[in-house]
Structure 1
Amino acid sequence: MNNLVITTGLRNSEKVEDLALELSNKLKLPYLPREKQSLESIRQRASAESIILVNNNRLSLVTNGMELFFHPGLAKLRIKELQAGKTDQMISAMALSEGKTVLDCTLGIASDAIVASYIAGSLGTVVGIEASIAVAEIVSRGLKNYHGERPELLDAMRRINVVQGDHLEYLRQLPDNCFDIVYFDPMFRKPREQSSSMAPLRPFANSNPLSPDAVNEARRVAKHRVVMKENRFSQEFKRLNFHTIQGGRYSPVAYGIIHKVVADNEIP
């Protein structure tokens, strides 16, 4: 994990300082009062690579001049398109429907998990695993506290259960066939230059390639299918034995699928 320090915005309050101290104790990270110093001065004083910045309305992660914070923007757009009757390639690859259970092993900023939660509905379950302590904290709080959106989007966000940890270790602890779908969206081996929204996340993401052990555990845990998102022509599909590949005709990404069984609402 990147070396981290916690501080506050310049215009803080007693409530903000209390939250910063709470996070410092919870995450076992140093807290430095802002005291009108620049973020760069705080970073250098703490010999840290990155800063968890606590403000009145959000947490964010600042590194290399980039700021990562929770926002449901992309998920909001995808849900809007689903409501308009359009196809979401991830949902199609998962064969996801109301009431199903999804384990998202690579939560990140939770865009995929929010869309999955919207489709699974109140009868379904979505659990997201995030390796980075800082990202997990920012996203978990964002999912619980973000407001100002339509009720169906907020409901989908609130239903997601965030787990901080290593996805392989978590998978190994689970019983057989306990989730309908297990999903992976690892950091692409070759980053898409157009995907600037992912740039602030990349320094904190697990950069290791997805392991065959994780896929094998996912096969055991999944009742219906294992799904992995990757660049369309990635060799990861072949390396990890995802033999069924699907996605939009003109999309730069595709979804590999390992089928376990055919669900009631699927066409064999």
Structure 2
Amino acid sequence: MIITTGDRPLTEVAERAERLAKQLGVPYVPRGNQSMSKLLTRCGGEEALVVLLHGVRLLRPDRPQLQFHPSMGFVRAKRILKGESDPLLEAAGMVPGDSVLDCTAGLGADALLFAVRGGEQSRVTALESSLPLYALLAAGMAHYDSGISEVDAALQRINIVNSDHVDYLRKLPDNSVDIVYFDPMFREPLEDSSGISPLRPYANSDSLSPESVTEAVRAARKAVVLKEKRGSGEFSRLGFAEQPRPGTKTSYGVITIDQ
């Protein structure tokens, strides 16, 4: 992966791109007068994270462009701020101040919901094993302007970590986080939204392992939550009690931790 900028970037944008490249340990390639297609060809067809003044994009010749945006997470976050309920937060039993480990960050939509509900006293960590997606999230969340200060503050409170969730969970002490959450990429997609379809080629498509769940149960104080297709055999395979939602194609499964 390389880091670059848009055409004729401001000095502050170029400096931000250079800092990000150094942080990630990947090359920074000045854009110059090259088109993105020529730059990608020159760099051997790798992913290019393009840092812009008001956003960040992930490009690769054989994949659709991916731009950071909390998508439906933004819509749901606004509802939470109005005091409305959210099915994920209800399934997790989350209250303000709870700590959350989101093991499958994706584009960060669910982590945003946890951070909004949790408030300033909560601790939300989002794991992403894909380096390009991690880079997109880290740069995107740090500089995204939603127009709502509470949402922007929540995004910046999320701790994004580039790690495989099993490796991360193994290192956690027992009962060290209130809620552990999994939203693995569905092997057979539902009718993917415009926000999810571009994500799929970059994301980890592995199914959730029993070891992941065992480690999550050990580390959690309150609950482990899994999002899957409604009626999915993954709930019973992994020991989750499904909580069907009438009229929807997805459900949440919960393992409640007995203290």
TM-score (norm 1): 0.88
- In structure 1, runs of 5+ residues without a counterpart are 263-268
Partner residue, 1:40 = 37
Find the residue that maps to 2:190 and give its secondary structure: coil
Q: Distance in 2 between matches of 1:19 and 1:143?
A: 14
Shift, 1:84, TM fit: 4.5
Q: Is the contact made by 2:47 and 2:132 (CA closer than 8 Å) also made in structure 1?
A: no
Q: Distance in 1 between matches of 2:150 and 2:53?
A: 25
Q: State which of 229, 234, 242 in structure 2 corresponds to 1:245.
A: 242
Residue 183 (structure 1) aligned with residue 181 (structure 2): yes
Q: What is the CA deviation profile of residues 16-57 of structure 1, one whole-angstrom value per residue up to 9, with x for unaligned ones?
A: 333333333332323333232222221111112422112222
Q: Is the contact made by 1:7 and 1:20 (CA closer than 8 Å) also made in structure 2?
A: yes
Q: Distance in 1 between matches of 2:18 and 2:72?
A: 32
Q: Is the contact made by 1:5 and 1:48 (CA closer than 8 Å) also made in structure 2?
A: no
Residue 129 (structure 1) aligned with residue 116 (structure 2): no
Partner residue, 2:21 = 24
Residue 156 (structure 1) aligned with residue 154 (structure 2): yes
Q: CA RMSD in A?
A: 1.9
Find the residue that maps to 2:188 and give its secondary structure: coil
Q: Distance in 2 between matches of 1:220 and 1:32?
A: 44
Q: State which of 183, 208, 218 in structure 1 corresponds to 2:216.
A: 218
Partner residue, 1:145 = 143
Aligned residues: 258
Shift, 1:83, TM fit: 4.2
Partner residue, 1:168 = 166
Q: What is the CA deviation profile of residues 234-254 of structure 1, one whole-angstrom value per residue up to 9, with x for unaligned ones?
A: 221122121x11142111111
Residue 254 (structure 1) aligned with residue 248 (structure 2): no
Pick closer, same or farther for the CA change 1:19–1:80 going to 2, 3 Å: closer
Residue 93 (structure 1) aligned with residue 91 (structure 2): yes
- After superposition, residues 59-138 of structure 1 pair within 5 angstroms as 59-63=56-60, 64=62, 66-138=64-136
Shift, 1:113, TM fit: 0.8
Q: Which amino acid aligns with 2:116?
A: Y
Q: Is the contact made by 2:54 and 2:144 (CA closer than 8 Å) also made in structure 1?
A: no
Shift, 1:179, TM fit: 0.8
Find the residue that maps to 1:175 and give its secondary structure: coil
Q: Distance in 2 between matches of 1:124 and 1:56?
A: 29
Shift, 1:12, TM fit: 1.6
Q: Distance in 1 between matches of 2:173 and 2:167?
A: 13
Q: What is the CA deviation profile of residues 72-98 of structure 1, one whole-angstrom value per residue up to 9, with x for unaligned ones?
A: 342221122234454311011101111
Q: Distance in 2 between matches of 1:226 and 1:39?
A: 42
Moved more, 44-53 or 26-35: 26-35
Q: Distance in 2 between matches of 1:208 and 1:104?
A: 16
Q: Is the contact made by 1:5 and 1:43 (CA closer than 8 Å) also made in structure 2?
A: no
Q: Is the contact made by 1:183 and 1:227 (CA closer than 8 Å) also made in structure 2?
A: yes
Moved more, 167-176 or 46-55: 46-55
Q: Distance in 2 between matches of 1:110 and 1:204?
A: 14
Shift, 1:155, TM fit: 2.5
Find the residue that maps to 1:170 and give its secondary structure: helix
Shift, 1:59, TM fit: 2.1
Residue 236 (structure 1) aligned with residue 234 (structure 2): yes
- In structure 2, runs of 5+ residues without a counterpart are none
TM-score (norm 2): 0.91
Shift, 1:130, TM fit: 1.1
Pick closer, same or farther for the CA change 1:150–1:201 going to 2, 3 Å: same
